[in-house]
């Protein structure tokens, strides 16, 4: 009987996590548009519902009822599946993220994580690099020069930043002594890693920004030179999936940052779930702020930053962290 209860719990957790995630992603769009508006001294959407609160709904309806257009020369199957890949990958990552302290109901401890993998961080890194398949395949299958250019940029960018991202997390693992995300959160009981590893945090933040293809790293879609890049040929809900994927991954990266550097759900006084959500939202908000502030990088600047700055700094950081740990005898 316990396994049935476990299954029910799992399914409930899945449903809750996915719906919360989608809801957040949808409203993240609204928040971004509103915030961008205010950053640019205007209002942002305020026509649909009070304060434009129903705008995501309207957008969703619009995207669903729009024609789903497939170019004549496109590789049809690949073209149709690519958006799903982009949207699915960040969802899967959420499986290993602990979002709250364990809940105890009737003496039974329910872990507030869908599954606590002992190689959670490797899982996260592996899946994060999978997301680029959606972009690369979508761009390729569109059979359009803009899409292809966008796809190539996307792949190149991912390879460059995946590396520094992974390396920036090595000190975290070294400090936590585990790949499990739950263990990493637990390891920050005394001190969040951001204070111990600020350099790692910065590298991770920049890499996360690049991973999620956001300004100033949105070269794959750069709408004013590539007409939208990899999603030029997409329309309707398939374009919507790309969009959802981007925002979900933004939230997931926020959650990962919270877990790796901000102490996860840990926090004083308030319930742990609240702390988790608060910390999770900090990163997307920062991304939006960045979008309002920074211009897009040039391609060579992007490569320069990734290979010649972040990578060496991350390596040095690992060595320094190792040395300090050795010296302190942790």
Partner 1 sequence: MAKEKSVLRDLLDDVMGLADSYAVTLKHLFRKPITEQYPDFKRLLPARSRGRIILTRDPEGEERCVACYLCSAVCPTDCISIEGAERKDGRRYPLWFRINFARCIYCGMCEEACPTLAIQLTPDFEFSKYGVLDFLYEKEDLLVDHQGKNADYDYYRHAGVSVEGDKGEHINEKPPVDVKSNLP
Q: Which residues bind partner 1 (CB under 8 A)?
A: 35, 37-43, 289-290, 292-294
d(CA 154, CA 138): 11
- The secondary element (H helix, E strand) that includes residue 177 is none
- Minimum CB separation of residue 237 from partner 1 in Å reads 28
- Of 39 and 133, CB closest to partner 1: 39
d(CA 108, CA 99): 18
- Minimum CB separation of residue 328 from partner 1 in Å reads 26
- Of 38 and 62, CB closest to partner 1: 38
Nearest to 235 by CA among 108, 147, 326, 121: 147
- Of 274 and 289, CB closest to partner 1: 289
- Minimum CB separation of residue 71 from partner 1 in Å reads 28
For residue 109, the cross-strand partners are: 104
**Cβ-based neighbours of 323, under 8 Å, separated by 6 or more:** none
**Cβ-based neighbours of 228, under 8 Å, separated by 6 or more:** 146, 150, 221
Sign for the pseudo-dihedral over CA of 294, 300, 302, 306: negative
- Minimum CB separation of residue 168 from partner 1 in Å reads 18
- Of 35 and 278, CB closest to partner 1: 35
**Cβ-based neighbours of 254, under 8 Å, separated by 6 or more:** 279, 280, 281, 282, 283, 284
**Cβ-based neighbours of 237, under 8 Å, separated by 6 or more:** 63, 64, 66, 68
- Of 9 and 282, CB closest to partner 1: 282
- Of 46 and 186, CB closest to partner 1: 46
- Minimum CB separation of residue 65 from partner 1 in Å reads 20
- Minimum CB separation of residue 53 from partner 1 in Å reads 17
């Amino acid at each position: 009987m316990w396994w049935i209860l476990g299954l029910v719990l799992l399914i409930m957790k899945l449903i809750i996590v996915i719906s919360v995630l989608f809801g957040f992603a949808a409203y993240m769009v609204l928040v971004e548009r509103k915030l961008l508006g205010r950053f640019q001294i205007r209002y942002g959407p305020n026509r649909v519902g009070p304060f434009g609160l129903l705008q995501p709904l309207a957008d969703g309806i619009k995207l669903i009822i729009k024609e789903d257009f497939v170019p004549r020369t496109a590789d049809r199957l690949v073209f149709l599946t690519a958006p799903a890949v982009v949207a699915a990958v960040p969802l899967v990552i959420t499986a290993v993220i602990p979002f709250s302290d364990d809940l105890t109901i009737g003496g039974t401890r329910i872990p507030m994580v869908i599954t606590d993998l002992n190689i959670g961080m490797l899982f996260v890194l592996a899946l994060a690099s999978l997301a680029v398949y959606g972009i690369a395949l979508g761009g390729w299958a569109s059979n359009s020069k803009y899409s292809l250019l966008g796809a190539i940029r996307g792949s190149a960018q991912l390879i460059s930043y995946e590396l520094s991202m992974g390396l920036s997390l090595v000190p975290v693992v070294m400090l936590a002594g585990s790949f499990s995300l739950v263990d990493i959160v637990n390891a920050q009981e005394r001190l969040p890693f951001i204070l111990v590893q600020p350099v790692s945090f910065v590298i991770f933040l920049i890499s996360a920004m690049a991973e999620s293809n956001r300004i100033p790293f949105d070269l794959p879609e750069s709408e004013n030179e590539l007409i939208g890049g990899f999603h030029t040929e997409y329309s309707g809900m398939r374009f919507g999936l790309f969009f959802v994927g981007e925002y979900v991954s933004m939230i997931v990266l926020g959650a990962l940052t919270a877990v790796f550097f901000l102490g996860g759900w840990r926090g004083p006084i308030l319930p742990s779930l609240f702390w988790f959500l608060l910390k999770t939202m900090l990163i997307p908000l920062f991304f939006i702020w960045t979008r309002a502030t920074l211009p897009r990088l040039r391609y060579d600047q992007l490569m320069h930053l990734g290979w010649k700055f972040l990578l060496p700094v991350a390596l040095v950081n690992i060595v320094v962290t190792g040395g300090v740990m050795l010296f302190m005898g942790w």
